[in-house]
Amino acid sequence: MSKMATVDPSTTTSSHHHETGSSHTGTEPCCGAVQCKDGKVEPVDIFYAAKLGMLIPCQEFIEHLGTAVLHTCDEKGHTPLHWAALGGHTAVVRYFIDCKAPLDKPSENKLGPRPIHWACVRGHVGIVDLLLQHGVPIDTPDSKGCTPLIIACQYGQTVVAAYLMSKGARLQMLDHEGDNALHWACFKGQAELVRLLIFSGFNPRQRDNYGQTPLHLACINGNLNIVKELVEEDDVEIDLEDKNGKTPLMLAVGRKHHSIESYLTTRLERKRTILGAMPKFDWQTLLFGPPGNSKGALLFFICSVLFWGYPMYIFKVIPYTLQDMQALHLLFFLDNCLMWYFLYQASTTEPGYLPRDTQEYHNSIRQAAHFDGWQAGANPLSRLCHTCRLVKPLRSKHCRVCNRCVDCFDHHCPYIYNCVGFRNRGPFLCFVTSTLTAMWIALYLVWTVLHVKGWDILVLVGFLEMVFFSLIALAVSCMAWYMVAMNVTTNERLNMKRYEYLKDGNGRFYNPFRRSVKDNCMEYFHMRKPLTEGEVEIMNARVNIV
């Protein structure tokens, strides 16, 4: 079995069991599809006008050519409604519906996708809702047997999948190779979607025509979190063979997914122990951490300080500087004590894990079928975490490493072997700052030794190493303190375009949490209460009015 070739977003995925041929780039304009007039781009056909969502040109083409043009296909076999659905152009789709366009006509090509399939590719719930309201069957298949739900799962559109299931999409529908939506979600590495599908009733042990379970396909993809969920949460057997005699472990080995290989090997050894074999002590996991969550960075820091930094300090620095710099050495000692204390606190303090399997989540899922604001762009499912089954508060995020939702998530830091969140962000910032201070003091002391003793190769190497790491620590500390002063998290800074609460009415970045530097710092260290979601909504409303 080999992974399929990359498929462009205008076509549905054919198969993950065999290579597919190269696909056309359906989202690119055709040569000569537009013409320029007085500096303006004007489409020369209704297909390109629908692709761009240009309602007035679409109206002009239909007035000139008649509604029959909506039944025609371009050179790639797609109708104008296909292109409008792909682009999520609700006004154009609604106009085509009023003009009696064929709503469920398949493309005239090998895969035969229908307009609703293309809407699912891009996650346009409003378009899907509009088509279903006007009679498109919710389980209409393409020529490969893929339903809208399967297409949504192929492209990781969790919200569309949740919407379709709430509207009654049949879970048992299979494509022509026996794969259902769960098989595809596992193969595509959509961890959150996998949990939603299993929670909704999909069987995690179901085999396809090739004898492969979702676990087989997750091992092909290489997503360790999905493999863990299937094995630990759903008790999927890890030694099942497909029709080619391949187990999930063998597939992971063949694809060189070493973390999954290590994890499944450990699980198999544990299973043999339960069955009576001699137990094997897993020292590697105990020392270096489980697969996918290595302690390497933390161990590197600890070992560098304990077995390189401190011996250098004791044998190369103290003999030449202690007598003349006793106060500085005392400051260095106290700063190191603080550094280790804050490292312990940041590493062992629970970062702010949110409670799982909440009633609010279940209510939101049940109410999705009765929500009538899809076509207006509203989305009541956007803040759901289907892995933890909760409604995420503002500023929270699901950590892929810890596999938990964290309140006021900043980032996952391998050097503390923990997430940085609401509860441990203070110790983390103090750890970073005290580490930088210790490096600066050590740099000054080593520079003094070089002046007193002369050029010692070990001291010089230590000095250059500290220069390198102190520059990194300086950059991290400055950025951390800057974000504290601005009241923004690392996650928000890197992904600001994803969060609607960080945008004003014109779509520009706006931080509703920012107050004075003093108030921001007090909030960071829990000396002042953060803004509530209601207060944030009021502030955003005021900005949008202005």
Mean pLDDT, rounded, for 406-418:
96
Answer for the pair 492, 484: CB distance below 8 angstroms, yes or no.
Answer: no
| Mean pLDDT, all residues of the chain | 87
Q: What is the mean pLDDT of residues 450-472?
A: 87
Q: How many alpha carbons fall within 13 Å on the CB side of residue 436?
A: 17
What is the tens place of the pLDDT at every residue in 308-320? 999 999 999 999 9
Give the model's pLDDT for residue 9.
47
In the set 399, 413, 419, 430, the catalytic residue is 413
Per-residue pLDDT at 35 exceeds 60: no
Task: Read off the pLDDT of each residue in 68-74 and give the average, rounded to a whole number.
Answer: 94
Query: Is 278's pLDDT higher than 60?
Result: no
Output the pTM of the full model: 0.80
The average pLDDT across 300-315 equals: 93
For residue range 205-214, what is the model confidence (pLDDT) as tens digits?
999 999 999 9
Q: Measure the CA–CA gap between 13 and 187, rounded to whole angstroms.
A: 12
Distances in Å between the Cα of 167 and the Cα atoms of 114, 133, 377 are: 19, 11, 18
Is pLDDT at 282 greater than 60 in this prediction? yes
More confident residue, 112 or 504: 112
pLDDT(523) > 80 = yes
pLDDT at 22 over 50: no
Percentage helix, strand, coil, to 5, in the chain? 55, 5, 40
Q: Are strands 40-43 and 384-385 parallel, antiparallel or unpaired?
A: unpaired
Q: Which two tokens stand for residue 449?
A: 């030794």
DSSP string, 82-128: HHHHHHT-HHHHHHHHHTT--SSPPPSSSS---HHHHHHHHT-HHHH
Q: What is the pLDDT of residue 15?
A: 63
**Among positive and negative, which fits the CA dihedral 108, 112, 116, 117?**
negative
Dihedral sign, Cα of residue 464, residue 470, residue 475, residue 476: positive
Q: Categorize the per-residue pLDDT at 8 as very low, low, confident or very high, splitting at 50, 70 and 90.
A: very low
Looking at 8-22, 85-99, 189-203, 352-366, which range is the least confident one? 8-22
Does the pLDDT value for residue 21 go beyond 50?
Answer: no
Asked whether the beta carbons of 401 and 412 are under 8 A apart, the reply is: yes
Q: What is the model's pLDDT at position 383?
A: 87
The three-point CA angle 211-215-221 to 5° equals 105
Which DSSP symbol is given to 313?
A: I
Task: Say whether pLDDT at 90 is over 50.
Answer: yes
Rg (CA), the chain: 29
Catalytic (active site) residue 413: yes
Partnered with residue 35 across adjacent β-strands are 42
The residue-averaged pLDDT of 219-248 equals 94
What is the reported pLDDT for 497? Answer: 86
pLDDT reported for residue 305: 94
**Chain centroid to CA 132:** 29
| Amino acid, single-letter form, for residue 103 | L
- The amino acid present at 418, given as its one-letter code, is N
Domains of the chain (ranges; CATH) run 41-176 (1.25.40.20), 206-292 (1.25.40.20), 299-350+426-494 (no CATH)
| Burial 416-451, CB ≥16 within 10 A → b, else e | bbbbbbbbbbbbbbbbbbbbbbbbbbbeebbebbee
Strand, helix or coil for residue 43: strand
What gap in Å lies between CA 465 and CA 311, rounded to an integer? 15
Check: CB of residue 486 under 8 Å from CB of residue 514. yes
Which tens digits make up the pLDDT trace of 128-184? 999 999 999 999 999 999 999 999 999 999 999 999 999 999 999 999 999 999 999
The pLDDT of 189-197, averaged and rounded, is 93
> Rounded CA gap, 230 and 208, in Å?
16
* pLDDT confidence bin for 507, thresholds 50/70/90: confident
Q: What is the pLDDT of residue 42?
A: 65
- Flag whether pLDDT at 275 surpasses 90: no
Element (H, E) at 265: helix 258-274
User: Using an 8 Å Cβ cutoff, are 456 and 480 in contact?
Assistant: no
Q: Report how far residue 430's alpha carbon sits from residue 420's, in angstroms, rounded to the nearest whole number.
A: 12
Percent of the chain predicted with pLDDT > 70: 87
Is residue 303's pLDDT more than 90?
Answer: yes
DSSP state of 503: B
| Residue 5 confidence class, pLDDT cut points 50, 70, 90 | very low
The band of 291, judged by pLDDT with boundaries at 50, 70 and 90, is confident
More confident residue, 18 or 463: 463
pLDDT above 50 (res 28): no
Task: Give the per-residue pLDDT at 218.
Answer: 97
